[in-house]
Amino acid sequence: MKPPLSPLGFGAAPIGNLFSALDDETARAAVDAAWDSGIRYFDTAPHYGLGLSERRLGAALGERPRDEFVLSTKVGRILDPVPAPVAARDDQGFDVPAHHVRRWDFTADGVRRSIEESLERLGLDRIDIAYLHDPDDHVEQALTEAYPALEKLRGEGVLRAIGVGMNQSAVPTRFVNETDIDVVLLAGRYTLLDQSAAADLLPAAEARGVAVVLGGVFNSGLLADPRAAATYDYVPAPPELIRRALDIEAVCAAYDVPLRAAALQFGRSTYPAVASALVGTRDAEQVRDCAAMAGVPIPETLWRDLRERGLLAAGV
* Catalytic (active-site) positions: 48
Cβ atoms of 142 and 162 closer than 8 Å: no
Residue 186, classed as helix, strand or coil, is strand
DSSP string for residues in 110-146? HHHHHHHHHHHHHT-S-EEEEEEE--TT-HHHIIIII
DSSP string for residues in 263-313? HHHHHHHH-TTEEEEEEE--SHHHHHHHHHHHTS---HHHHHHHHHTTSS-
Other Cβ atoms less than 10 A from the Cβ of 127: the count is 23
DSSP for residue 84: S
Residue 251, classed as helix, strand or coil, is helix
Rounded CA-CA distance 180/154 in Å is: 11
- Pick from 292, 290, 272: nearest CA to 281: 290
Nearest 5°: phi and psi at 78? -90, 140
First-to-last C-alpha distance (Å) of the chain:
29
Cβ atoms of 100 and 77 closer than 8 Å: no
Cβ atoms of 224 and 262 closer than 8 Å: no
Rounded CA-CA distance 277/216 in Å is: 9
- Pick from 160, 157, 117, 110: nearest CA to 138: 110
